[in-house]
Amino acid sequence: MSQPHIDPDADPSRRAWLACPNCDHGAGCADCQSGRNCATHWQYLLKNAASRVFLQCPTCLCTWTVDTAERNRRTRARPGVDGVVVAEVWLGTFPRDIVTSPSGELVYVMTVDSVKAVDRQHRVIATVPIGADEPKRMMMSSDGSRIYVTSYDGALSIIDPVGMTSKIVAKPRSTAAVVSPDGNYVYLAHSHARRDGGSAWVSAIRADGVAVAFAAIDGFITGMAVSPNGRRLYVASSPYGEEARGGTIAVLDTASYQAVDVIAVDEAPESITVDADGILYVTHFHINSVSVVDPGTRCAISITLDDAPMEVVARPDTEFAYTANAHSVTVIDTTTSATNNVMAGKLPRRLCISPDGQRLYAADFADGSVWALDTSNNSVVATVTVCAHPAAVSLSADGELLYVTDDRAGTLTVVATALLTPNARDGM
């Protein structure tokens, strides 16, 4: 087996004074048990982080951590054992966004300088550089054929997730981005402030990095979404000026890149999401409301919330949608406009709904916990602490694993969703 990356700043003298908790590699060795660095039963040293040491066993590939302040406390990557956290994978500097392959075999994580592929055994099997000083967002097409990474400096990385090769192209800085379902195009929104001329446009970038179309947009672009069939691009924008009210959603035909409709909303839009039926959800953070828009009928309904909405996910094949707000989660009945706060947290973010629609997951960015909600009655099933500083959350395609990045510790935490029960424990 090839040796994993070893942090050059790590202290090799700290790596082998305990046997592997999975296969007992090193058990019974006097040197290992005495704390001396054994040349026979050593572990791969992945990282030192304060008092924690990240190790990987060369025999069974188990990844585990030891807190040197508590020598007998070992955290292990061992599926289905002891607690909801089944693995903790060291990834490097500032892991953030996560996307999962449609097959469920791989998960991709964006770090400060690369995208890493992690397999179902929680091993980093490939790394591809992204060439951006400040990566902003990572997106995968729904068919899994392309990964796109935008950056604050305008660089766009286009990644083939099969060959793990990338093409890096320079583009104007973007305010929003979205990928076509087939992965053949990424749409970038560009907006200049009023003092810089107040222009806004959308560019369509082919998978080879070539810009093939441009469409001018009125106002400052705040978000975009693509219809499930890829034929329509929805562009949310707000007018320039402090006194301006309302906003619009421009509907672009992705074959001609011409505007085929413009739908008005009562307040300035923040984010925009489209569900499997093509219904749009537009958040208005500053006035605590969500607009539900049917592009076919041009009907827009404004729903008032008790908290400021930041993101929306829709429960498949139902009339219910959930919003992650500044300090709570709300369920919305879109047929009656009724709302109910189903979870209170300090900073609930990154909502995920299981493929069968029966569970909603949210990460509380304030305390590092994950909440599991039963969507049949909107009751909280479990709350467990998984990491200190969560940055992003994603579900595997089968819904069995929940992935959480910790951008300060440099780790990917893997949670077994089946173990998220009322009696669930935090650790492994």
Tell whether 68 is covered by a domain.
Answer: yes
| Percent of the residues in the chain that have a pLDDT greater than 90, as a whole number | 55
Q: Which residues contact 9 (CB under 8 A, 6 or more apart)?
A: 48
Helix (H, G, I), strand (E, B) or coil at 259: strand
C-alpha span between 110 and 427 (Å, rounded)? 25
> Regarding beta strands 70-76 and 63-67, do their DSSP bridges make them parallel or antiparallel, or are they unpaired?
antiparallel
C-alpha span between 42 and 188 (Å, rounded)? 48
Q: What is the mean pLDDT of residues 361-385?
A: 90
On whether the CB atoms of residues 111 and 89 are closer than 8 A, the answer is no
Tokens coding 64: 């585990």
Q: What is the mean pLDDT of residues 354-365?
A: 92
Q: What is the mean pLDDT of residues 185-209?
A: 86
**Nearest C-alpha neighbor of 423 from the set 383, 378, 375:** 383
**Nearest C-alpha neighbor of 101 from the set 208, 167, 183, 205:** 183
Tell whether 19 is covered by a domain.
Answer: yes
Cα-Cα-Cα-Cα dihedral of 340, 346, 350, 353, to 10°?
A: -40
C-alpha span between 254 and 231 (Å, rounded)? 5
C-alpha span between 64 and 220 (Å, rounded)? 47
Q: What is the DSSP letter of 348?
A: E
**pLDDT by residue (tens digit) across 96-108?**
999 999 998 999 9
pLDDT of res. 131 = 76
Output the CA–CA distances (angstroms, integers) from residue 48 to 32, 91, 112, in the order listed.
19, 12, 18
C-alpha span between 289 and 48 (Å, rounded)? 45
| 14 has a pLDDT exceeding 90 | no
Tokens coding 79: 């599926």
Residues 189 and 292 both lie in one domain:
yes
On whether the CB atoms of residues 93 and 387 are closer than 8 A, the answer is no
On whether the CB atoms of residues 300 and 285 are closer than 8 A, the answer is no
CA angle 87, 93, 94 (to 5 degrees): 80
Tell whether 270 is covered by a domain.
Answer: yes
Tell whether 266 is covered by a domain.
Answer: yes
Given pLDDT bands bounded at 50, 70 and 90, which one contains residue 77? very low
pTM of the predicted structure, to 2 decimals: 0.80
pLDDT of res. 48 = 66
- Among 296, 313, 335, the domain-final residue is 296
Output the CA–CA distances (angstroms, integers) from residue 288 to 164, 225, 241, 284, 333, in the order listed.
42, 21, 21, 6, 16
Scanning the structure block, which residue is given the tokens 């956290």? 85
**pLDDT by residue (tens digit) across 328-349?**
999 999 889 999 999 877 888 8
pLDDT of res. 344 = 73
pLDDT of res. 396 = 93
Output the CA–CA distances (angstroms, integers) from residue 29 to 66, 73, 144, in the order listed.
18, 19, 46
- Render 218-256 in DSSP notation, one character per residue: SSEEEEEEE-TTSSEEEEEEE-SSTT---EEEEEEETTT
The mean of the pLDDT values for the chain is: 84
Given pLDDT bands bounded at 50, 70 and 90, which one contains residue 427? very low
Domain count, the chain: 2
| 18 has a pLDDT exceeding 60 | yes
pLDDT of res. 36 = 57
HSE value, Cβ hemisphere, 13 Å, CA-based, for 411? 27
| 287 has a pLDDT exceeding 70 | yes
**pLDDT by residue (tens digit) across 396-411?**
999 999 999 998 888 8
- Among 262, 296, 330, the domain-final residue is 296
| 79 has a pLDDT exceeding 60 | no
C-alpha span between 2 and 291 (Å, rounded)? 52
**pLDDT by residue (tens digit) across 23-46?**
666 666 766 666 555 656 666 676
**pLDDT by residue (tens digit) across 211-270?**
999 999 999 999 999 999 999 999 999 987 666 678 999 999 999 999 999 999 988 899
pLDDT of res. 329 = 95
Residue 238: which CATH number? 2.130.10.10
Tell whether 7 is covered by a domain.
Answer: no
C-alpha span between 84 and 401 (Å, rounded)? 10
Tell whether 41 is covered by a domain.
Answer: yes
**pLDDT by residue (tens digit) across 253-270?**
999 999 999 999 988 899
Given pLDDT bands bounded at 50, 70 and 90, which one contains residue 1? very low
On whether the CB atoms of residues 343 and 371 are closer than 8 A, the answer is yes
Residue 270 sits in which domain range?
171-296
Given pLDDT bands bounded at 50, 70 and 90, which one contains residue 72? very low
Tell whether 407 is covered by a domain.
Answer: no
**pLDDT by residue (tens digit) across 129-179?**
997 678 999 999 999 999 999 999 899 999 999 899 999 998 988 999 999
pLDDT of res. 345 = 77
pLDDT of res. 15 = 58
pLDDT of res. 422 = 73
Tell whether 48 is covered by a domain.
Answer: yes
